Amino acid sequence: MINYHPDSRMLNEFSAGSLPLAQSACVSLHLNYCSTCQRESRKLQQMGGMLFERLAPCEVDASLLDSVMSRLDEPAPLTYEAKTTATDESPALMRRLMKGGYKDLEWDRINSGLQISRLHTGDVENEFALYHIKAGRTIPRHTHKGTELTLVLEGSFSDEEGIYQRGDFLMRDAEHEHTPTAAKSEDCICIGVLDAPIKFTGWNYRALNPFLSLQAH
Amino acid sequence: MPDEPPEDDSKMQGQIQVDENGSRNDEWSICLQQIGQTQCRASFERLFAHFAPLVKAFSMNGSAVSIANAEELVQEVMIKVWQKASAYNPQKAAASTWIYTIARNSRTDMFRRLRKFDTPLNAEDIWEEDTGDAPFIAVQERRNALQVKELLKTLPHEQAQILAKVYMEGKSHSEVAQELDIPLGTVKSRVRLAMQKLQIQVEK
């Protein structure tokens, strides 16, 4: 059961195509787990289709039809047919970004309970990273300068405001200061999308802040 | 900006027709199926005449880059429509919605290309095609389509205008706020009100 979802702005910008790439990837992964948001986004897409129908047509150059007609015999790019039918459980989008399993990634060890792996999405303003929190361990208390999106992929974690499980989507901004803790029973892996570095606020962890400079790529 | 008169929707009346089995029998859905099944060029020309000007309108979203690339985008979209027509499932979506999503995807990909984004992802990875159960989706679609279509007509101009900017011009809420010179909170609340009116329950 998914309890935490993107808000109206996120889902609308996602459906309309104006959300930055790394954030879109995060919302897309949430949809993978959440049938409610799938249904809502289908409705939004339908609404988009209706707004599209209502546009005032804009005349195209007369030569355009000929030039399109002459290109119809070009072979279609492979991607149209080569949609994977992979049996792997993890979402196709994740597999595309990871090119392998969690073990094959390069992990930066922040401390004995936390490792971070930054993935390449092409979005240079938003960092897309995996956080691996050991069972029962905590990400030191921190704040965000910008927006932080979190999506749980494996296990679960909790903070001052709730318990989050696989597929749950969280959006936090600068007002939030929190201490996410992985469940005792298993490690937690989640995605974090940041548009500005997080900042540890506990005195004994501040020394780690330099390791957290944003690595969006 | 003064209120514009409500749009004349009469030309769209009756365009969405879904029978009890969930099949569509409106002109464009049939046309698209013919293209998919028989590669019928005459049907494609008909479809082109109707949709290419809409795709172009969609492509001209105000920025200089879009205007310069509008016809290129129209070509790209229409060729994809031809190539993907056999994957069109009339139970799941109206032809216009299906073509709109191709246009949205192509526009997003084109902007990333123009900005020299080096990315392993394309729009189809982000908006995966619906693999859900077709008959189930068909029932939902039918209900939603009629509902949203009717309700869309009743939206106040200030809400419809923002949805048009978000969906057709591809602007973020903050860009819309800047352009209309209103606070971001106002844009967000107008979108929320519109969602409530359209009975799209995005706040859970």
Domain ranges within chain B, ordered by starting residue: 20-131
Q: How does the average pLDDT of chain B come out, rounded?
A: 84
In this prediction, residue A13 carries a pLDDT of 95
Confidence of residue A134 (pLDDT cuts 50, 70, 90): very high
Domain boundaries, position A156: 1-217
Contacts of B53 in chain A (CB under 8 A): 57-60
Q: Under DSSP, is residue A16 helix (H, G, I), strand (E, B) or coil?
A: helix
CB atoms inside a 10 Å sphere around CB A80: 13
In this prediction, residue A145 carries a pLDDT of 75
Q: Residue A183 pLDDT more than 60?
A: yes
Q: Residue B61 to residues A196, B16, B55, B106: CA-CA distances in angstroms?
A: 29, 26, 11, 14
What average pLDDT does the segment A31-56 reach? 92
Q: Residue A148 pLDDT more than 60?
A: yes
CB contact under 8 A, A47 and B119: no
Instruction: Tell which B residues from 25 to 44 touch A, by Cβ distance under 8 Å.
Output: 41, 44
What average pLDDT does the segment B109-134 reach? 82
- Selection from A130, A102, A94, A90 nearest residue A114 by Cα: A130
For residue A145, the domain's CATH number is: 2.60.120.10
Rounded percentage of chain B residues whose pLDDT exceeds 90: 53
Q: Residue A54 to residues A106, B61, B100, B168, B187: CA-CA distances in angstroms?
A: 49, 15, 12, 10, 22
Q: Residue A82 pLDDT more than 50?
A: no
What average pLDDT does the segment A50-63 reach? 93
Q: Residue B3 pLDDT more than 50?
A: no
Q: Residue A142 pLDDT more than 90?
A: no
Confidence of residue A211 (pLDDT cuts 50, 70, 90): low
Q: Residue A65 pLDDT more than 70?
A: yes
A62–B contact, CB cutoff 8 A: no
In this prediction, residue B23 carries a pLDDT of 56
CATH of domain B20-131: 1.10.1740.10
- Enter the tokens of residue A86: 């992979």
What average pLDDT does the segment B39-60 reach? 95
What average pLDDT does the segment A187-191 reach? 96
What is the distance in angstroms between the Cα of B171 and the nearest Cα belonging to chain A?
6
What average pLDDT does the segment B27-44 reach? 94
Q: Residue B13 pLDDT more than 50?
A: no
Contacts of B15 in chain A (CB under 8 A): 53
In this prediction, residue B14 carries a pLDDT of 41
What average pLDDT does the segment B12-34 reach? 67
- Selection from A205, A20, A216, A43 nearest residue A110 by Cα: A205
pTM assigned to the model: 0.87
pLDDT in tens, B61-102: 767 778 889 999 999 999 999 999 999 988 888 899 999 999
Instruction: Report residue B130: phi and psi, to 5°.
Output: -65, 115
Q: How far apart are CA A21 and CA A124, in angstroms?
A: 9
Contacts of A74 in chain B (CB under 8 A): 79
In this prediction, residue B130 carries a pLDDT of 66
CB contact under 8 A, A13 and B137: no
- Selection from B29, B33, B26, B20 nearest residue B143 by Cα: B20
Q: How many domains does chain A have?
A: 1
Q: How does the average pLDDT of chain A come out, rounded?
A: 86
B179 vs B149, higher pLDDT? B179
- Enter the tokens of residue B62: 């105000």
Nearest Cβ partner for B54 among A9, A16, A55: A55
In this prediction, residue B62 carries a pLDDT of 67
In this prediction, residue A88 carries a pLDDT of 55
Q: Residue B144 pLDDT more than 80?
A: no
What average pLDDT does the segment B99-110 reach? 94
Q: Residue B166 pLDDT more than 50?
A: yes
- Residue of chain A minimizing CA distance to B49: A65
Contacts of A76 in chain B (CB under 8 A): 83-84
